[in-house]
Structure 1
Amino acid sequence: MGASGADDTLESHGIDMGRRTGPLAQFREWVLVNGNRSLIAASISLLVFVLFLGLHAIGVISFTNDGSVTRLASGMIAGTFSLVTLVVSINQLILSQEFASANDARDQLEGIIDIRNDIAVQSKVPASPAAPTKLLELLIETIAAHATALADTDDTDRNELLRKFTNSIDASTDRTHETLEHTTFGTFTAVSTAIAYDAAWQLYVARQLRERDGASLSSEAVAELEGLINALKLFITAREHFKTTYLQRELTRFSQLTLYCGVPAILAAMTIGLLYGGFSGATIGGTYLPYVVSGLIAVVVSPLALLASYILRTAAVTRRTASIGPMLPQKEPEAGPFEVSYGDDVD
């Protein structure tokens, strides 16, 4: 697949993931989407530790008042219990999607087999790959093959919009295929790459070209447009299935990590209260007390940090993929080369 120049009017107008420019925008994208969730959670906890030490150093807060610290510890214990309960509820919601009767399970299996058979037929292979990334790669290759065959027809010489469309597909499939080739499913790179590929926009343009210019196109070009439309539909279907599967795994992993951190967080909150349980105040000297209490507070907020890091990503992915098919809420009304009004198709 060799990339060619794309036209601005046929550039992606839908999902925008991983294409930010500028240091601040790239950092924001890393925090929201691309960054390792555990690393971001650990960074939030570390930031809390440094923040409390800094506030103590400049005299804004103090760790010498037994009553205030004890009340804080009690509130942290109650808050951590509530957070763990919330996570358990999320985990139960995810598990509820896995429960199915024999008939439901059979229907779901038959549906997946049918889609895989359709992919195999469309891609002209004996059977579709089992690995999700390989399956997405195969669909990208199929889309690129139909676009190349469409570009090789004589119609592209007469239809400038068709030529620009095939050039745009060639460039975008090249980038996506190169990224998918070096990733594995289970890493967010594979999912974000598949999401960033604007199959919905390409499907919209392909359908517009077929309906508007179908009468003036050769039978070969119309057949390739039909094949391209079918390949894009299969790609969108497979991508949504894999995105849902990944998000289920992501939320399950989040539930596990929150439970792992929940017990240490509760113990840390209890320790803060016990440090001030003596009649003479804190049992640790004033020199080390700010470091110990700040460190324990950082442990207490670790479940909340995990919640923030994982929900940021799932919310960003869900918002950017809120529609299926050529319904693009992110697209500007004036974007793109097609404008229609009532009665345009009437002779």
Structure 2
Amino acid sequence: MSVEPDSTGDDSGADPAESDTEIDAPGDTEISTADTMRERADESALKLWLLLKANRLHITGVLAVVVFCTFVAVGSSVDGFVATLQSGDTKGALFSTMLGAIITGTTLVVTISQVVISQENGPLGDQHQRMSNTMDFREYVGDMYDEPVPVDPSAFLREHVNAVQRGAKALRDAVAGSDDEDLRTEVDQFTDSVIGNADAVRDQLDGATFGTFEVLFAALNFNYAWKIFQVERIGSDHESAIDDEIDDRLTDLRTTLSMFGPAREHIKTLYFQWALVDLSQYIIYASVPALVVTGSLLAFTGSGPIPGTTLGIENVLWVVGAGFTVSLVPFLLLVAYITRIGVVAKRTLAIGPLILRDSQR
């Protein structure tokens, strides 16, 4: 499952019910754009919920049920399937193959986990540089806030969105006395869009806990890239009407918006690392029962047929289908987690005001 990349420097992943409306300024210039992923990518709410918002363990469970039901349904409807499955060689080949796949897959996932963890390791000089970069960024963005920089990721992003909102209001106040009516109209429409988007994102971040997808999901809904472009365009189109105060407010707002980019990317990177470590742990946990079940079935069902029926379905279909499904759980976990990570990565390929999606041009 894949989704085309959206306007990436900034892509949206919020509740499909919340979106900006497109407003036309003088000269038919679009001041605001839709801020949700569904509106920007023209995808159904259900598809994006399954790809991003839904609990990954629940998705894994649903996939497992689908695999099991499909196996039983196909086995019941295809002539000769049960007879072939009753062969000891067939069951033995199936489960021995799955046994090798589980061991290989688990080893691969452990390797991925080691790669992720290795990024956190390094000599003292590297660790000092990482710390210095982090503190420098906190000090820089701290000048934009009214309070110390929060340490909680959700509160940190929420405070940054507040700073953007304050910058938008300051720009609107500075332009209020301008003689250029077009400038006042465009800035009013633009700041209304920024403030509305900031309010929605702040509500989504409120109570969101890092480690879940909620923090990143809300951050993706803040369409900062389009806003940077609009600040630059307003400054260029109305250069003759912009005095020093308005220019300062535009510069401040552009800087604050620009700092949201690396802040969000940092949170995204941390989430990816967190999710990959979780994935590695879940696959290891799932591999143990999968190995036990697959090995047991290989030992006890490989030598002969499984007689009898239950609920009108041959028992061999129930047993082999259940064993096959359990052996696939580690792989289904990988599918569920990597699908979300892949969609987010594809929608945030670039940082800043770049548009990669044709529909957004």
Q: 2:92 aligns with which of 36, 58, 70?
A: 70
What does residue 253 of structure 1 align with? 278
* Residues in 2 aligned to 1:20 and 1:321: alpha-carbon distance in whole angstroms: 13
What does residue 125 of structure 2 align with? 103
* Residues in 1 aligned to 2:239 and 2:205: alpha-carbon distance in whole angstroms: 33
SS, match of residue 298 in structure 1: helix
What does residue 329 of structure 2 align with? 302
| TM-aligned CA distance change 1:106 to 1:215, over 3 Å | farther
How far did 1:320 drift?
Answer: 0.3
How far did 1:57 drift?
Answer: 2.3
2:204 partner letter: T
* Residues in 2 aligned to 1:21 and 1:231: alpha-carbon distance in whole angstroms: 26
Contact in 1 for aligned 2:20/2:197 (Cα 8 Å):
no
Q: 2:341 aligns with which of 314, 327, 341?
A: 314
* Residues in 1 aligned to 2:307 and 2:326: alpha-carbon distance in whole angstroms: 18
* Residues in 2 aligned to 1:284 and 1:113: alpha-carbon distance in whole angstroms: 68
What does residue 340 of structure 1 align with? none
How far did 1:144 drift?
Answer: 0.7
Q: 2:300 aligns with which of 270, 275, 286?
A: 275
| TM-aligned CA distance change 1:233 to 1:21, over 3 Å | closer
What does residue 48 of structure 1 align with? 67
Identity, in percent, stands at 26
What does residue 12 of structure 2 align with? none
Q: 2:37 aligns with which of 17, 29, 36?
A: 17
- Say how many residue pairs are matched: 327
1:38 partner letter: L
Q: What does 1:216-235 align with in structure 2 at a 5 Å threshold? A: 216-235=241-260
What does residue 149 of structure 2 align with? 128
Q: 1:147 aligns with which of 168, 172, 179?
A: 168
Q: 1:7 aligns with which of 23, 36, 58?
A: 23
| TM-aligned CA distance change 1:286 to 1:48, over 3 Å | same
* Residues in 2 aligned to 1:309 and 1:276: alpha-carbon distance in whole angstroms: 30
| TM-aligned CA distance change 1:137 to 1:314, over 3 Å | same
* Residues in 2 aligned to 1:187 and 1:277: alpha-carbon distance in whole angstroms: 42
How far did 1:284 drift?
Answer: 6.1
What does residue 52 of structure 2 align with? 33
Q: 1:91 aligns with which of 113, 122, 140?
A: 113
Give the unaligned 5+ runs of structure 1: 336-347
Q: Deviations over 1:134-185 (max 9, x none)?
A: 1111111111111112112323744132222112112211111111123222
| TM-aligned CA distance change 1:193 to 1:113, over 3 Å | same
| TM-aligned CA distance change 1:131 to 1:65, over 3 Å | same
- Larger displacement relative to structure 2 (77-86 or 32-41): 77-86
SS, match of residue 327 in structure 1: coil
How far did 1:255 drift?
Answer: 0.5
Q: Deviations over 1:242-274 (max 9, x none)?
A: 110011000100000001111211222222222
SS, match of residue 37 in structure 2: coil
How far did 1:209 drift?
Answer: 2.1
Give the unaligned 5+ runs of structure 2: 1-18, 25-29
* Residues in 1 aligned to 2:41 and 2:129: alpha-carbon distance in whole angstroms: 45
Contact in 2 for aligned 1:143/1:228 (Cα 8 Å):
yes
SS, match of residue 110 in structure 2: helix
